[in-house]
Structure 1
Amino acid sequence: MSIPRRPADVTPQWLGSVLDRDIREVTVQPIGTGQTGATYRVSVTYADDSADLPATFALKLPAQDDAVRERVALGYRSEVEFYTVVADRMRIPVPRCFHSEISDDGADFALLLADMAPAVQGDQIAGCSPAEARLAVDALAGLHGPSWCDPAWMQLPCIVMPKPGDEAAAKGLGDVARMAAEITVDKLGEAISVEDRETLTAAMGMVTPWLMAEPDRFALMHGDYRLDNMLFDPDRTRITVVDWQTLGVGLAGRDLAYFTATSLLPEVRSTIEKDLVGHYHRALSTYVADYDAETCWRDYRLGVLQAPLLTTLGFAFASSTERGDEMIATMVHRGCRAIRELGSLDMIA
C-alpha cells in the first residue's frame, strides 16, 4: 500500500499491512508541533489477540507543506536510514522501530515507532537539571563509542553534515553559515545583544576551518542533540533520544558541547560542565581506550560552535513562531556565551 501522506491515510488497512495483523480500528492524534515533520499517536484496536504488540504507536510523517517536504527530504532519508541501518548497532536509547519506508525522492516517508508515553519531552527554554544532563551525556557515549573512528560510517549515503576532511563541503557550509548568521541577526533584531551578535558573526565566519580541524577523530553524530529531542521518564531515571534527521560524522565533542551549551542555563553549565565532560569521558572509555581526558576537554571546547551553527541554520530558512523565536534567541545567547567563556574561537586557525 502507498505511504500515508496525511493522518487520514493511516487506515486499519495500511497499519494492518505493515504489522501483518487484522486491525479493526485506528485513531490518530497529533503529538507536538514539529516544523519539518509531524508526529502522531496511533491507538489501535486489534481484531484478535495481539499481546505481543502495543496498543499505541508513535508515527512520524513528513510535513504537510510540500515546499518543506522537498527542502528537508535529505533529513527524512537520514532518519529512515538511522532506524533501518544504524540504530541496532549503537547503544544509545531510542524508540523501537516497527516499520519504516520512504519514497524514491525522499519526500514521503513513514516511521512507526514505539510510543514512549508517559515519558515527556525536555523543555529547551527552561533547561534541564544536572541529573538529566548526566543521563544525556551517558546516552551520547552510546552513540559515539560504538562508531568511534570507524571509516565504514563514512559510506552512509544520507549523512547531512560535511564529512571529516571534505574541504569542498566544508567551504560550502561555511558560506551558508555566514548567510544564515546574517539572516538570524536580522530576524531576531533587538532580541540578540550586540555582544552575542559579534560572537555569532565571528563564529559563523570560521565554520570552514572549524570543520576541517581534527579530521582524524570522528564518530557518528546526532547533530541536533538537545532537550527538545529527548524524552525523559517521569522519575527522570531513563532517557530516549529521538529526531535523527541531522545524522552526521564528525568530531564527537560537537554533540556534547551543543547539548551543554543549549540545554543548560549558562550559570549551571559553567559550574558543572567539567564534571559532565569527565562523566562523558568515563562512559566513552568503556568503548574507546586511546582517548585521554585532556583531549576530550579540548574537543569539547572546540565543538561548541555546533550550537550557533545548528541554531542559525534551523532558524534562518524556516518560518517563525512565537515559541520558536524565543527558543532560538535563548539558544543563540547560550551558545555565544559558551563560546566566549570557553575561548573556542582562539582554538581555530
Structure 2
Amino acid sequence: MTDLAVPVDDLAPAVITEALRAGGHPVTVTGVEATAIGTGQMAGSYRLALDFDGDPGEVPPTLVAKLAVGPMDKRTSVAGAYRTEVDFYRDLAPTLAVRVPRCWHASVSEDATDFLLLLDDLAPAEQGDQLAGCDVVDAEAAAVNLAGLHGPRWCDPTLADGTLAIVTADEASVLTEVLEPMTSVFTDRFAGRLRAEDQEVLERVPAVAGSWLVGRGERFAPVHGDYRLDNLMFAPDHGPVTALDWQTVSLGLPARDLAFLLATGLSIEDRRAHEDDLVAAYHRALLGHGVTGYDLDACRDDYRYAMLQAPLIIVLGCAVGTPSERGDRMFLAMAERSCAAIRDLDPFALL
C-alpha cells in the first residue's frame, strides 16, 4: 500500500456532519477517529469512529469512508472509476437486489477527481482471500448474491439511458491491440513460474478478445467486472456475502461475473466437482429475480463462453497494479485456476 496519510480535512467532523445531513440524517458529529483499512490502490478507505452531539438516530457509531487520495495526476487518470462507483451507490444499487454496504452518502466533484462515500462498517465480516480461495459453500453464497446484481435489470433497455457503458466494436478493437503486448509482459514477468500449458492458453486470448467482448450482446445486465474474493466480504459461519468495489461496473454478458468468480476463486478440483451445481444455484436465483426465457442450458453455455473474462482481467490487472509478493502469487494462482477451467470448458470452440 502506498503512503496514504489520513486526509484530516476531508474527514473532519464538519465534513461528515454535512455529508450525513445531505442524506437526510439530522446529526452533529463532534469527533472523528479515522483508521486506514484495506489495500486499495485507486482510493483510500478508512474506518471512522464517530462521536455525536445528542442522539444520532439510526446512524451507527462507526462507518467506512472511501475517498480519492494520492497525487492529482493519478486521480485524474482514474476519475472515471470514481464517478462509476458513486453513480452505482447513488443511482443503480437501489434498483438491484445484490447485497452491498448501506450507503449513507455518495458525492463526486464535477471533474470526478474527488469523491466521498460513507458506507456501513461490515465488521465482523471478513474480506475474502483470492490467494487462498474459498470453499464451495461460500462460492454458492457469492454466486447467489451475484444473481441479485444481474436479475432485477436483466436485459432492461432503460439501462442504456444511464451512465453504464457497453463495449463497442471500436473499443474491443483497441483492447485487442493492447492485450497482446500486455500478455507478453505477463508471461515474461512470470517466466519459469507460469506453466507452459497455462501460457499457451493466455497467448490464445488476444486474437479473439475483441470478438468475444462484443459477442452475445442480446443478453446484458449490469456486470461488476471484477467479482472476485478480494472484493467480497463474508460474514462469519458461512453467513451472507456482501460485494464491494464498484468502480468497474458496466453493461455486458452477465455470466462473465459468474465465470470469473468460480474460475479464480475455487480450487481446480472443487470447481470441476461442483461448478454444475453452482451454475444451477445461480440460475435458480436469477429466476427468483424475475428472469424469464433463459433456461439452464443457455446459462451453462454462457458460463462456458464467459470463461475468457478471467485471463483478460488477470493480464490487465497485473499490468496496472503495483507489484508485490502477494500480488504476484495471487495472479499466478488465478492464472493457473482459470486456465485449467478454459482447457476443461473450451470457450474458444464457441467463438
Instruction: Decide: shared fold, TM above 0.5.
Output: yes
For 2:334 and 2:162, the matched residues in 1 are separated by 30
Q: Hey, what does 2:247 align to over in structure 1? A: 245
Q: Hey, what does 1:137 align to over in structure 2? A: 143
What percent of counterpart residues are identical? 41
For 1:107 and 1:192, the matched residues in 2 are separated by 37
> Secondary structure of the equivalent of 1:223?
coil
Q: CA deviation at 1:204?
A: 2.6
> Secondary structure of the equivalent of 1:231?
strand
Q: CA deviation at 1:36?
A: 1.8
Which one-letter code corresponds to 1:69 in the other structure? R
For residues 22-171 of structure 1, the aligned pairs below 5 Å read 22-159=28-165, 162-163=166-167, 166-171=168-173
For 1:221 and 1:283, the matched residues in 2 are separated by 16
For 1:265 and 1:66, the matched residues in 2 are separated by 40
Is the Cα contact below 8 Å between 1:74 and 1:158 reproduced in 2? no
Residues 147 and 108 of structure 1: is their aligned pair in 2 closer, same or farther, counting only changes over 3 Å?
A: same
Is the Cα contact below 8 Å between 2:6 and 2:36 reproduced in 1? no
> Secondary structure of the equivalent of 1:26?
strand
Residues 311 and 156 of structure 1: is their aligned pair in 2 closer, same or farther, counting only changes over 3 Å?
A: farther
1:17 partnered with 2:18: yes
Which one-letter code corresponds to 2:169 in the other structure? E
For 2:178 and 2:113, the matched residues in 1 are separated by 23
For 2:174 and 2:315, the matched residues in 1 are separated by 15
Q: CA deviation at 1:276?
A: 0.4
- Structure 1 gap ranges (5+): none
The runs of 4+ residues in structure 1 deviating greater than 6 Å are none
Q: CA deviation at 1:170?
A: 1.5
> Secondary structure of the equivalent of 1:43?
strand
Q: CA deviation at 1:211?
A: 1.2
* Per-residue CA distance 1:88-141 (angstroms, 9 max, x = gap): 000000011111111222221111111111110011111111110111111011
For 2:20 and 2:157, the matched residues in 1 are separated by 35
For residues 209-228 of structure 1, the aligned pairs below 5 Å read 209-228=211-230
Aligned residues: 340
1:312 partnered with 2:323: no
For 1:315 and 1:155, the matched residues in 2 are separated by 33
Q: CA deviation at 1:253?
A: 1.0
Range with greater deviation from structure 2 (46-55 or 253-262): 46-55
Is the Cα contact below 8 Å between 1:132 and 1:236 reproduced in 2? yes
Residues 173 and 156 of structure 1: is their aligned pair in 2 closer, same or farther, counting only changes over 3 Å?
A: farther
Q: Hey, what does 1:8 align to over in structure 2? A: 8
* Per-residue CA distance 1:301-338 (angstroms, 9 max, x = gap): 00011111111111112220111111111111111111
Is the Cα contact below 8 Å between 2:268 and 2:341 reproduced in 1? yes
Q: Hey, what does 2:293 align to over in structure 1? A: 290
TM-score, structure 2 as length reference: 0.93
Is the Cα contact below 8 Å between 2:222 and 2:250 reproduced in 1? yes
Is the Cα contact below 8 Å between 1:145 and 1:284 reproduced in 2? yes
Which one-letter code corresponds to 2:123 in the other structure? A
Residues 264 and 67 of structure 1: is their aligned pair in 2 closer, same or farther, counting only changes over 3 Å?
A: farther
TM-score, structure 1 as length reference: 0.94
1:254 partnered with 2:260: no
* Per-residue CA distance 1:61-100 (angstroms, 9 max, x = gap): 1242444322222111111110011000000000111111
- Structure 2 gap ranges (5+): 22-26
Which one-letter code corresponds to 1:187 in the other structure? R
Q: CA deviation at 1:39?
A: 1.0
For 2:93 and 2:313, the matched residues in 1 are separated by 23
Q: Hey, what does 2:270 align to over in structure 1? A: 268
For 1:224 and 1:65, the matched residues in 2 are separated by 25
